[in-house]
Structure 1
Amino acid sequence: MRFSTLAGLAAVAGSASAAIQGFNTGAFFLDQSAKKQVDFAYEFRRAQNLPNTSGWTSTRLYTMIQWGTASDVIEAIPAAIETKTSLLLGLWTSGSSQAITNEITALKAAINTYGTAFTDLVVGISVGSEDLYRDSKPDEIGIGPATLIDYISQVRNAIAGTPLEGKPVGHVDTYDSFLNGTNSAVIDAIDWLGFDGYPYWESNNANSIGDAHERFWEGYNKTLALSKGKPVWVTETGWPVSGPTQNQAVANAENAQIYWQDIACNLVAQNINIFWYTLQESQMGQAAIDFGLFPAGDLFQVEPYFNLAC
């Protein structure tokens, strides 16, 4: 494991206590079928018992809503209570104004249904995910900064007077979205910034696995520099084990292991909150681009694609 001089700024985001280590998890499988409580719990237990590593006891959700319903509470919540998995909550905000209304309905229902057994597990709340990035793309559906700030305010009002009051509220986006000056007001409205960084996708830059270290820390430290002193959490990063070559970035297990050992192990050593993408991407079928640590199959029966030791 190596420490880059580019990581100098990153050190201020750490703390004396151990950082949060978790994985991103979706609400449904690759075949679009909904994950149930038993599925989430199985996944969370596997993360807590990874070979040759430890401390992966948290998960990041993209939504509070059970897949296939309008506003039912996602079954990841009781699964987290069952497995004592801490949670970075996510509320999906893109699409229409009904999206945030439904998300807040589910959030309130989770508080009322599960009480402090749920709220004590929450490490933070993310209002939205890459909405600013998608809003800047003509073929994507996102939301602009003014709308996002309004949604952040709605969430703060919803948790006021509940056990979630005081939990840090943030937003997750790409670093170039935070760098956009028109979005700077969002930073004032949140408690922490969620950094999504994928050197694999940076096809306009040198992005071979040999360049990945520099690409990652360059993006992270740019985000840290504009964060106005607020913490920057790494909310998504990873390297695919399979998929098409993107400029110089080759997707294979060997490169994914290099990236894990250099980036994941580095972040853990520096006590920077991290949510890796992802534990298992291919469940019911094979993803066209697979970022998973595990291949398809029973998570407790298949082996990781590579050695996870630091």
Structure 2
Amino acid sequence: MTEHFERDRPRLRAVAYRILGSLSEADDALQDAWLRADRAVTSEVENPSGWLTTVVARVCLNMLRARDTRREEPLDEGPRTGTTGPDPAAEAQLADEVGVALLIVLDTLGPAERLAFVLHDMFDVPFDDIAAMLDKTPAATRQLASRARRRVRGVPAPEADPPRRRRAVDAYLAATRGGHFEALVSLLHPDVVLRADAAVVPTPEPFVVTGVEPVARGAMASMARARFTGVVLVDGRIGLAMAERGRLRVVLRFTFADDGLITGIDVIAEPDRLGELRISVMGA
């Protein structure tokens, strides 16, 4: 089983990362799964790869269910940069490879929906096997995956959001990620207003910033977060969402002038407000 585990490690890590959305948690899940596999009697296991996938998925499911306080954790200024755990740059690169928007939407799913979707739609695990992990019937498990698929599947932006608004949001994210101050300034209306929850900084009260340069400077301060930010639909409108370590942390909603310049930015980080938003992937 040791040989099978080491051979399958890249795939098992990919499974764990997509279920959990966090590289450090995925590595923890693999360590736990290995300890369980090492203690198990496996002489009669006919499909070691499938069996190991099941072990890893069960560990991940337990970790998802234990995230009762995930929305109450303090919002950092950026990814943690301690001496242990994955390099933040490596985690940001992996998030880009998988799709930041996908990870953000996955975080809005319940544990059972997320497991069913990831295992079946991404790794071709049969519904019968997933049903056994969830203590549900295959038919019920199929429904879980179907509901998740509707949330995850990319949908086109509504006609009320013309392509130039998508370009503006794409450019806003690119400028913030790259630290391009002048490029960001060019996207903002002279009377732009930014409103932010108290949880964003955090501060005792919500705050408001007005004017092009103050708003742009505030955006530049969020460069670290921008690496984990993707373009999504927020209640049917083009916006941005950030998922640090696989967990939805911040959402930006935009308003626009007729010429396409950004007139307003609503920065949402309060857990209750985040929970009320409907986040979905935007199709091409």
| Structure-1-length-normalised TM-score | 0.25
Rg larger in structure: 2
| Structure-2-length-normalised TM-score | 0.27
